[in-house]
Amino acid sequence: MSSLKPIRRAVIGADAQGRAQIQFDGMAPNGHPSSMSSGRGHTDLWVWTASPMALAGTSDDSLQTYKFPGVPEGGHLRVVQSHGRTPDYNPATDPEVVPFHDCCVRPGTTGTWERGGNSMFTSSMHKTQTVDYGVLLNGQRDLVLDGARTMMHPGDVVIQVGAWHQWYYPVDAQMAFDMIGADFVDGPQGVAQGQDKPLSPVPAVHWPAGVRPTRRIVTIDEADCRSVIVSDGPSPDIVIDPARPGFVAQRMWETDSAPAKIVYETLHLPRRLIPTHGGTTFRVDIVPPDSAWLHQITPQAVAEYFASMGSPQAALTSPRHPYMQHTGTFDFCTVIEGELCLVLEHTELVFKAGEVALIKGVPHAWSNRSQSAARIAISSHDGQR
Residue 326 has pLDDT above 80, yes or no: yes
As for how many domains the chain has, the answer is 1
Contact 199, 230 (CB under 8 A): no
What pLDDT, on the 0 to 100 scale, is given for residue 1?
A: 59
Distance of CA 101 to the CA centre of its chain: 31
Q: Does residue 1 form part of some domain?
A: no
Contact 339, 367 (CB under 8 A): no
Q: Does residue 39 form part of some domain?
A: yes
11: left (phi over 0), alpha (psi -120 to 50) or beta: beta
Q: Does residue 2 form part of some domain?
A: no
What pLDDT, on the 0 to 100 scale, is given for residue 68?
A: 92
What pLDDT, on the 0 to 100 scale, is given for residue 204?
A: 82
Residue 74 has pLDDT above 80, yes or no: yes
Quickly list DSSP for 51-89: SSEE------GGG----TT--TT-EEEEEEEEPPPPTT-
Q: Does residue 301 form part of some domain?
A: yes
Q: Does residue 326 form part of some domain?
A: yes
Contact 183, 257 (CB under 8 A): yes
pTM exceeds 0.85:
yes
What pLDDT, on the 0 to 100 scale, is given for residue 132?
A: 98
Q: Does residue 250 form part of some domain?
A: yes
Q: Rounded CA gap, 316 and 306, in Å?
A: 10
Domain that holds residue 171: 8-384
Q: Does residue 50 form part of some domain?
A: yes
What pLDDT, on the 0 to 100 scale, is given for residue 194?
A: 84
Reported as a single tens digit per residue, the pLDDT across 211-229 is: 999 999 999 999 888 999 9
